[in-house]
Structure 1
Amino acid sequence: MTMRTSFEVAADSRSTQGKGASRRLRRSGKVPAILYGGNSEPSNITLDQQNLMTLVDKEKFYSTIISLKIDGKSQPALVRDVQMHPAKNQVVHVDLLRVLEDQPLRLHLPIHFLNEASSPGVKLQGGTVSHLRTDIEISCLPKDLPEALELDIGAMNIGDSIRLSELKLPEGVTIPELVHGRDAPVVAIH
């Protein structure tokens, strides 16, 4: 089975490392990055700053598998970390995880809360929604990776809450916290 990829990102191999080399790359419009994991050694690569800036604002970029084209060869990867410059709107460094079809992934997925305003606890009873979690760590194979978790809270009343164990997960997706007995609340209406 093939993996779904949402974005295609061009990359080039790089042989230079260190602070000076990274600064020169950034001045030339490139971003230093590293691709690690899988059964291969870590690879130092460069990404295009302009192309990256169009992607970093998209929530989906962080929770889907991207197709990384390194010197023309395609490699599935997952964005693990994006470091931004503290003063400029500029990416400083990117960490990417190599994805293998048969190895489970662990990552944080965003939660999209649906029907919040139409919930009886908010609309009729004057309650307030407390988002106790905005993302959840999940574990699954790459083929089962959802873009986000949707949670319909349209039937909640004041005093109601939804816990991790009550979430409806897609097939093949698990929450590692539940394995360790931590069934924390996700959302509540007060």
Structure 2
Amino acid sequence: MSKFIQLSNRTAETKSNLNVARKLGRIPAVLYGINKDTLSLEVNEKELLDVLKTNPRAILQAKLSDNTAVPVVVQDIQKDSMSGKVLHIDFQHVNMNISMDSKVTIHFAGEAAGIKAGGSLQVEIYEVEVRCMPGDLPTSMEVDISGLAIGDQLLVSDLIFQNGVEVLTDPSTVMIQIKTVHEEEAEEPAATPA
């Protein structure tokens, strides 16, 4: 939780003023939480993108305009469907003394033996939902797939987290599998003649 992000009081409220703020690199944001007032804020776009690039699920220390620092997590990001630019972001207060639900990104490392043998890699999910104390929340998890042969798969139940992290995603969910090229072709719907 070493990452700091500056959240400033929002100066613009009208749609046109918000668009001007976005062009100047200030993204509108809100901060809310249980038994907390909802605050209309803004965040520096470059600072925000740096944080999202390294770990979008990290617990951050948000510096507010009154110089207080509070633990927060990114709860929702609204993006422009055409450009992909961030339009708005929701931050949520984190109570460090109460367990929380979040998602952990899974990084698949290594080259599967099944790929070298001509198989095809199919990733089903890139993240799992977990419940833990905020201080125990993993930033991500790396899973070595080099031992997977054609026909092998990894399930959520194969993940081993540290003590105190409860996995909420169904344990029988397939995360990744190595298929033969024939299986992959059979799954694609046949083209209908025009």
TM-score normalized by the length of structure 2: 0.80
Alignment of 1:31-180 (within 5 A): 31-56=27-52, 58-60=53-55, 62-71=56-65, 72-87=67-82, 90-115=85-110, 117=111, 119-123=112-116, 125-178=117-170
- The alignment status of 1:188 with 2:182, answered yes or no, reads no
Gap regions ≥5 residues in structure 1: none
Residue-pair matches, total: 178
Gap regions ≥5 residues in structure 2: 180-194
2:47 match: secondary structure: helix
**Amino acid in structure 2 at the alignment position of 1:162:** L
Q: Call closer, same or farther: CA 1:33–1:158 in 2, change over 3 Å.
A: same
Q: Report the Cα offset of residue 104 of structure 1.
A: 1.9
**Amino acid in structure 2 at the alignment position of 1:188:** Q
**Amino acid in structure 1 at the alignment position of 2:63:** K
> Is the contact between residue 128 and residue 169 of structure 2 (CA under 8 Å) also seen in structure 1?
no
Return the index of the structure with the highest Cα Rg.
2
Distance 1:103 1:112 in 2: 27
CA distances 1:131-180 after superposition (whole Å, capped 9, x unpaired): 111111222111111111211111111111111111111221122133xx
Percentage of pairs with the same residue: 26
Q: Report the Cα offset of residue 54 of structure 1.
A: 3.8
What root-mean-square deviation, in Å, do the aligned CA atoms of Structure 1 and Structure 2 show? 2.2
Q: Report the Cα offset of residue 24 of structure 1.
A: 4.9
